[in-house]
Amino acid sequence: MTEPVVRVRGVSFSYDGQNALSGVDLDVGRGDFLAVLGPNGGGKTTLLRLILGLLRPVEGTVRVFGQEPDRARGRVGYVPQQVAGGMLRRDFPITVREVVLMGLLGPGRPGGWRGFWWGAADRKRADAALEKVEMDRYAGRRFPALSGGQQKRVLIARSLVADPELLILDEPTANIDPQGKFCFHQVLSRLTREVTTIAVSHDLSLLTAGVTAVACVNNALIHNPAPELTPEMIALIYGVHSHQCPMDAFIRGIPSMLDVQRAAVGGPHA
């Protein structure tokens, strides 16, 4: 029995007395594409940060590749929701290729930290990663000049270039319009066949991107090894914490998502 890539056991976390997660258990197996869904404020970002090792659980354990999360960082590719936390200067001078090359910096590359010049081998790796997300034509372009969806794909390439064994995506389709989302889901679907992926989202349409398992987080977590929302998950969303704003897009999207599920016999994964 191969060890799960990520194992979360009995985890709780609070921010300044506000309880974000309680008693969360989760296993992510090799080859999974797990969608972590839930309303805003429900704890899914907290769970993400715990898996990344940016936070430590108040109770319980988090193991990535059997180790403490911050020890496993070299094997994890993280794609944040926005570059520079949304603070990117509009005119920052950097090319797409340079953004991707940046992904090579990190643990396991001591020599590569130093100096000024990227070698030809590194440039090839960067271009290969760009090809996987269909952005190779843009390698020499200025990054800030790209659209939101294009930038997001470049950020994914940045994570892929270091050959991660686990890819973590934070709200991958935020800031992308519906048209762009469709193309993006196709790229994602193809990519995730090659690498274990966890994607956190409040957008239910992610379920159409080749997801193999779903976890629903709203303070507690319910896991389903199939790309569907179960009745227990629905109850979790509506039942827990009345402060959840009923106008949350996630909650509004559930009825239509259930229709899609009923209609898609056999599921979207191929």
Q: For residue 242, which phi and psi values (nearest 5 degrees)? A: -70, -10
Site for other proteins in 27-86 (CB under 8 A): 52, 54, 73-74, 78, 80, 83-85
Which tokens sit at 129?
Answer: 């990663």
**Interface with other proteins, residue 134, by CB under 8 A:** yes
Token pair 């070299």: residue = 74
Instruction: Choose the stretch contacting other proteins; rule: CB under 8 A; options: 24-32, 90-98, 199-207, 250-258.
Output: 90-98
Instruction: Choose the stretch contacting other proteins; rule: CB under 8 A; options: 21-29, 30-38, 142-150, 206-214.
Output: 142-150
- The angle formed by the CA atoms of residues 9, 78 and 23, to the nearest 5 degrees, is 15
Which lies closer to other proteins via its Cβ, residue 161 or residue 211? 161
Give per-residue burial for 161-200: e unless 16+ CB within 10 Å, then b. Answer: bbebebbbbbbbbeebeeebbeebbebbbebbeebbbbbb
**Interface with other proteins, residue 148, by CB under 8 A:** yes
**Total residues interacting with other proteins, rule: CB under 8 A:** 51
**Interface with other proteins, residue 107, by CB under 8 A:** yes
Token pair 């066949």: residue = 193
Are 233 and 222 in contact, with CB atoms under 8 Å apart?
yes
**Interface with other proteins, residue 181, by CB under 8 A:** yes
Interface contacts to other proteins, rule CB under 8 A: 52, 54, 73-74, 78, 80, 83-85, 88-89, 91-95, 98-99, 102-103, 105-107, 112-116, 118, 134-135, 140, 142, 145-151, 158, 175-184
